[in-house]
């Protein structure tokens, strides 16, 4: 997938950029245990619907779901954002047509909250479908980059405003398969 070949290297190169290891798979796993415990405390009797935002959140979702020991459902959604000249931008939302969300407890599963545009738009869209509740979990949050106020109910790691890859997140389509998370080298 990239020139480094070694999936556990402390420094890697993907195309023109160099990255350093930032959060290990082991630490990510510990954090997901915490998130899973809180979800169980809050939602184990609510039969929640997890909506996983593709593509980046697929690994987080897979790890999280296997730690949940209560009945729940999962679906995938795709959200494409277009950052034009407007700071607000626009998004297109693609959801399976046959899922019923009325009166359901929804948990949005995200890889990273950056500007907050994606999640703010998606939340508004879901509100119109009259769910009982909408909550958010994201394995990564960049508070300094938020342009929209976003409350993450089940947060993972708060990180600085630097580009990251690995653990589902890509650069030029590459790096999603790295078990650890890497940060752009300063
Ligand atoms: P937002 O709408 O919050 O600005 O953007 C969220 C989306 O931008 C994420 O779901 C992710 O796809 C992408 N993104 C934001 N920051 C990063 C980053 O540091 N690395 C990668 N690979 N993607 C990012």
Among 61, 79, 92, 111, residue to substitute to test ligand 1 (most atoms within 8 Å of Cβ) = 111
Which segments within 24-179 are labelled E, that is strand? Answer: 49-54, 73-82, 90-94, 105-113, 133-141, 154-158, 164-165
Catalytic residue from among 63, 114, 153, 161: 114
When pLDDT is averaged across residues 84-95 and rounded to a whole number, the result is 70
Q: Is 111 in the pocket of ligand 1 (CB under 6 A)?
A: yes
pTM: 0.93
Residue 6 banded pLDDT, cuts 50, 70, 90: low
**Model confidence pLDDT, tens digit, residues 57-86:** 999 999 999 999 999 999 999 998 765 544
pLDDT at 125 over 70: yes
Q: Distance, CA 112 to ligand 1 centroid (Å)?
A: 6
* Beta strands at 181-184 and 164-165: parallel, antiparallel or unpaired: antiparallel
Instruction: Delineate the domains of the chain, giving CATH numbers in brackets.
Output: 11-184 (3.40.50.2020)
Report the mean per-residue pLDDT for the chain.
Answer: 92
Among 22, 53, 112, 116, residue to substitute to test ligand 1 (most atoms within 8 Å of Cβ) = 112
* Beta strands at 11-14 and 73-82: parallel, antiparallel or unpaired: unpaired
Residue with tokens 């999280």: 64
114 is known as an active-site residue: yes
d(CA 55, CA 38): 24
Residue 88 banded pLDDT, cuts 50, 70, 90: low
pLDDT at 130: 97
**Model confidence pLDDT, tens digit, residues 126-167:** 999 999 999 999 999 999 999 989 999 999 999 999 999 999
**Model confidence pLDDT, tens digit, residues 27-41:** 999 999 999 999 999
pLDDT at 4: 47
- Of the candidates 86, 144, 80, 149, which has an alpha carbon nearest to the alpha carbon of residue 118? 80
When pLDDT is averaged across residues 41-62 and rounded to a whole number, the result is 98
């Amino acid at each position: 997938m990239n020139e480094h070949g070694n999936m556990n290297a402390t420094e890697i190169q993907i195309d023109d950029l160099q990255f350093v290891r930032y959060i290990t798979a082991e630490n990510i796993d510990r954090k997901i245990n915490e998130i899973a415990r809180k979800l169980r405390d809050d939602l184990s009797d609510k039969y929640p619907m997890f909506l996983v935002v593709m593509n980046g959140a697929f690994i987080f979702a897979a790890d999280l779901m296997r730690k949940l020991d209560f009945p729940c459902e999962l679906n995938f959604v795709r959200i494409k954002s277009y950052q034009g000249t407007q700071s607000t931008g626009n998004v297109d939302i693609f959801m399976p047509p046959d899922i019923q969300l009325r009166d359901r407890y929804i948990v949005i599963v995200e890889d990273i909250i950056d500007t907050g545009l994606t999640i703010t738009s998606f939340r508004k869209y879901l509100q119109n479908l009259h769910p009982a509740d909408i909550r958010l979990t994201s394995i990564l949050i960049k508070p300094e980059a938020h342009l929209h106020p976003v409350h993450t109910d089940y947060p993972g790691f708060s990180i600085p405003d630097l580009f990251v890859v690995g653990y589902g997140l890509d650069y030029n389509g590459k790096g999603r398969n790295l078990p650890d998370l890497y940060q752009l080298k300063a």
